[in-house]
Amino acid sequence: MRNALFATLLLGVAGLSSQVQAGDIEAGRALSVPCAACHGENGISSSPVIPNLAGQKSAYLVAQLQAFRGGARENDLMNAIAAQLSDPQIESLAAFWSSLSGASTHATSTIPANMERTRLKFPENFQREFIRYDTISFPDRGQVRKYYANKPAFEAARMGQPMPQGSYFLVEVFGAKMGTDDQPLFGEDGQLVEDKLLFYTAMETQPGWGDDFPELLRNADWNYAVFLTDKTARTGVNQAECLACHKPLTQDSYLFTIKALTAAAKAAR
């Protein structure tokens, strides 16, 4: 029994190895452009929590990308990216990353300029001109978030239409008040009791704004941003992470809160 299982494993590895050897390094190099936003142009990542890919074994990379694609390995960003890749593309990417020289443990890359640059400006009059349509508590993060949409977005939702160019969404992110037992406090409405404003997140779409991003990441013409409490854009934000996370939501205008927005808009008739 053990010998039979071992033989099966050997056949599986042999099959995987032959696939990897078929990978086209130059095709992988071209495909890797979107990956470079997080993993670096030379396979050296831009974040201490994102792995380097340079010098990794091809078979390992193929196995991981296939696991992300199939959902056996869960990561919102990588699941969304891998779902768009075919077997030959995975093999070529693996061949390319494997062909690069590895780096020291502490080596990092800079975020690509097109991913760090955002076109969003803070909407100074949002509390008067936007409509608040949802509040969501995140006990695991100790946060409560308030969601706002500008009038063009709200009207499109009321009509059951996709979000038009000019749509702008802003989220106020508050820390939650903590009780004496160091647990977040809930109010009578079932939401966390808000404490201090921590930061804002935002997304806006305008014609041509998506042209800076590769198709594997592009969310039509949406750009994303994080604003500090003084309303200035936070530096060092990698839009690739936002784009990859929202990428599967094509049918929902790339919005996680489309159902809440639509319900609020129709109720406001």
Residue 212 belongs to a domain with what CATH number? 3.50.70.20
Residue 202 and residue 167: Cα distance in Å, rounded?
Answer: 11
pLDDT tens profile 129-140: 999 999 999 998
Q: Are residues 152 and 38 in the same domain?
A: no
Helix (H, G, I), strand (E, B) or coil at 83: coil
* Angle, vertex CA 83, rays to CA 79 and CA 87, nearest 5: 120
Residue 62 belongs to a domain with what CATH number? 1.10.760.10
* Strands laid side by side in the 168-176 sheet: 131-138, 143-149, 168-176, 194-205, 222-227
Mean pLDDT over the full length of the chain: 89
Q: Are residues 35 and 160 in the same domain?
A: no
Q: Are residues 123 and 203 in the same domain?
A: yes
Q: Are residues 152 and 256 in the same domain?
A: yes
* Higher pLDDT, residue 236 or 148: 148
Q: Are residues 120 and 225 in the same domain?
A: yes
Strands 131-138 and 143-149: antiparallel
Domain stop point among 55, 75, 110: 110
Whether the Cβ atoms of residue 223 and residue 240 lie closer than 8 Å to each other: no
Res 195: pLDDT = 95
What is the mean pLDDT of the segment spanning 146-151? 98
Q: Are residues 99 and 150 in the same domain?
A: no
Tokens at residue 69, please? 């694609």
Res 46: pLDDT = 79
Q: Are residues 96 and 122 in the same domain?
A: no
Domain stop point among 49, 79, 110: 110
- The percentage of the chain sitting over the pLDDT mark of 70, rounded to a whole number, equals 90
What is the mean pLDDT of the segment spanning 140-158? 96
What is the mean pLDDT of the segment spanning 156-182? 95
What is the mean pLDDT of the segment spanning 144-165? 97
Domain stop point among 110, 140, 165: 110
Q: Are residues 82 and 162 in the same domain?
A: no
What is the mean pLDDT of the segment spanning 63-84? 92
Res 105: pLDDT = 62
Q: Are residues 67 and 179 in the same domain?
A: no
Quote the domain boundaries for residue 12. 2-110
The answer to whether the predicted template modeling score (pTM) of the entire model surpasses 0.95 is no
State how many domains the chain has. Answer: 2
Q: Are residues 15 and 88 in the same domain?
A: yes
* Angle, vertex CA 67, rays to CA 73 and CA 5, nearest 5: 110
Q: Are residues 23 and 131 in the same domain?
A: no
* Higher pLDDT, residue 180 or 63: 63
Q: Are residues 134 and 197 in the same domain?
A: yes
* Higher pLDDT, residue 21 or 66: 66
Res 181: pLDDT = 83
